A and B are shown apart, each in its own frame.
Chain A
């Protein structure tokens, strides 16, 4: 049942998605994965490595169209993506990297505001090769927001960062998302990230992936470090098999 005034942006039903491995063996990545994304919601795909959650994200991004099933959009898709690796153009400055993907209505003033919030003001004329991984990730996140997407996709955007940097970046994403509400999907295998950012967490089964269960994260679940940790432990005790050791 849908609440009044809550509209769905996207309805997805992937009946079957296989891919051919390098050894020539066909692997089923997704089987009967079904979901609906409501406008301005923050959904998290959670599950162990290789469960097909990144594959589903790539299908939403329009990077993979080789599947059986349906992806139905309420509006024309406009995707802003943050990849696992920052994927910046090394031969363009930070500013050029952001502006190249920006929406036509993204003004010079919007740019100044965005880099200010992201703490990138000093870096705008630098090349990506001069930045740390944490800073490059910030640029990649800024680029995705500058494209003014109707669907923001985050593929493990905080992986391989040190804990304080990851925490700062999660806070930044949270701030940006609260200030510019957009439908967002994040892939992660870290329940702390899921609880801190997500409103709804979809738990994936192991390969072939499908959605095993869904959890609703209430704002009260992230009021403090202690509540986040409590929620994380609770989920972990309920679904120990979804956690990587």
Chain B
């Protein structure tokens, strides 16, 4: 029964959508059939794969960079009062600066280049990762670190066996919200200053008012992100938390 509820919900929505599209009968509200045929058209021309892979590459590149930099800053801020004091005003600043402003400035100062696009996305995401990891670092168990110290663990052993497992839930949380935020920002970056990628295609079809194609690209990308969640994030999380007793 547990699996049936989401299924009911999705099937119900598609039905509603079909009926609404049929009643309104306007190209600005295409039905599921039109959207599927748009997806098919874009797949068979090869355009969808091309743009999808370029966007995915940008998402992964900026995701990895933002996570590594954000984890580093968060760890340092959680560990040292001095570093926290030095970085904190800038963290607040970058948390509150509008994404669009960062994108504009990166393109103005860096030109309409791939590097400027990636940097803009990374700058938007790093503060969120840093804040989450700072909290994680502050909640580290001091007793386990003492245990490592008394048994003369190397710095790497301490990091790998004592610190990283405790930060893992914070890294997963930052990664989850990071992935969904990053792909949205990547689309904006592509929309404004790139000549390929899903964001660029959305821009093109927006000018043509082709709603079916806009939905086609959005659904294709959401499907890819869902696959990443199901095939990579969830199995990794299950593996990393296997030591925890099953929640009641």
Contacts and interface: CB of A to CB of B under 8 A. Distances in A.
Interface of chain B: mostly helix, strand, loop or mixed? helix
Interface string A162-197: 000000000000000000000000000000000000
Interface of B: 143-144, 146-147, 149-153, 157, 161-162, 165, 240, 242-245
Contact of B243 (A61, A63, A91, A153): A91
Contacts of B245: 129-130
A220 to B, nearest CB: 35
A81 B165 contact: no
Contacts of A62: 149-150
Interface in A71-95: 78-81, 83, 85, 87, 89-92
Given A89-B165, A91-B165, A101 B151 contact: yes
Contact of B151 (A79, A85, A129): A79
Contact of A147 (B149, B151, B161, B242): B151
B243 A80 contact: no
Contact of A127 (B161, B162, B243): B243
Contacts of A143: 151
Contacts of A218: none
B148 to A, nearest CB: 9
Contact of B146 (A63, A90, A100, A129): A63
A85 B146 CA distance: 12
B151 A90 contact: no
A151 to B, nearest CB: 11
Interface in A82-139: 83, 85, 87, 89-92, 100-101, 127-130
A125 to B, nearest CB: 11
Contacts of B147: 81, 83, 87
A91 B243 CA distance: 5
Contacts of B152: 78-79
Nearest to A101: B151
Given A129-B243, A129-B245, A89 B151 contact: no
Contacts of B243: 90-92, 127-129
A83 B244 contact: no
Residue of B144, B150, B151 with most partner-chain A CB within 10 A? B150
Interface of A: 61-63, 78-81, 83, 85, 87, 89-92, 100-101, 127-130, 143, 147, 153
Given A127-B243, A129-B244, A83 B151 contact: no
A95 to B, nearest CB: 13
Contact of A100 (B149, B161, B242): B161
Contacts of B146: 63, 83, 87
Given A85-B143, A127-B243, A63 B161 contact: no
A79 B245 CA distance: 32
Nearest to A143: B151
B164 to A, nearest CB: 9
Contact of B144 (A78, A79, A89, A153): A89
Given A85-B143, A100-B157, A147-B151, 7 more contacts: A83-B146, A89-B162, A92-B161, A100-B161, A101-B153, A127-B242, A153-B150
Contacts of A90: 243-244
Contacts of A127: 242-243
B130 to A, nearest CB: 24
Nearest to B245: A129
16 contacts: A62-B150, A63-B146, A63-B150, A79-B150, A80-B151, A81-B150, A85-B143, A87-B147, A89-B161, A89-B162, A90-B243, A91-B165, A100-B153, A127-B242, A130-B245, A143-B151
The 3 closest A-B pairs by CB, nearest first: A91-B165, A81-B150, A101-B151
Nearest to B146: A63
Most buried by B among A78, A85, A90, A143: A90
A153 B151 CA distance: 11
A87 B144 contact: yes
Contacts of A63: 146, 149-150
Contacts of B150: 61-63, 79, 81, 153
A242 B32 CA distance: 83
A83 to B, nearest CB: 7
Contacts of B143: 83, 85, 87
A103 B157 CA distance: 14
A59 to B, nearest CB: 12
A147 B152 CA distance: 10
